[in-house]
Homo-oligomer: A and B are copies of this chain.
Amino acid sequence: MERARRHSPKRDAILECLRSTHEHPAAEWVYAQLKPMIPDLSLATVYRNLAQFRKDGTVQVIGNVDGEERYDADLSPHSHFICRTCGKVADLPFSPVDMPDTSGVGRTDSCSVTYYGCCNECLQIC
């Protein structure tokens, strides 16, 4: 019951935007990046496509930073560092974790390791 996915330049642009950045951006950031090149792009289209990418696993969601969902098209195993001050998300090499026995609560399909702190730029300012 797989719905046909049609070709759409805007969808391609949104995915390409995510794949070519290390910003781990929010929907609004993607929109702001593409809007100058695609003047008739709508923010709703960005949201709709991000939701679809998320659903079929094309991109992953890092989490909600300062009220905004942040996306990552890099699906290789790695961890993230999130700056509590400015909200920047940076990649870190994968941190291996022992998968605990989760049979008591449910079936685990993924695991995320996230480090929080203050990034070097913010350390200089504060």
**Chain A contacts to B: CB under 8 angstroms:** 63-64, 69, 79, 81, 83-84, 90, 92-93, 95-100, 102, 104-120, 122-123
Which listed residue (B81, B111, B115) contacts A115, Cβ 8 A? B111
- Once the chains bind, are B83 and A106 in contact (CB under 8 Å)? yes
Known: A63-B64, A113-B97. A119 touches B92 (CB 8 A): no
Contact B93 A105 (CB under 8 A): no
**Nearest CB in chain B: distance from A37 CB, A:** 30
Count identical subunits in the complex: 2
Q: Are A109 and B100 in contact (CB under 8 A)?
A: no
A-B contact pairs, 30 of them (CB 8 A): A63-B64, A64-B64, A64-B69, A79-B100, A81-B105, A81-B106, A84-B109, A90-B105, A90-B106, A92-B102, A92-B105, A95-B97, A95-B98, A96-B97, A96-B98, A97-B97, A97-B113, A102-B117, A106-B117, A106-B120, A106-B123, A108-B115, A108-B116, A110-B115, A110-B117, A111-B113, A111-B115, A112-B113, A113-B113, A114-B114
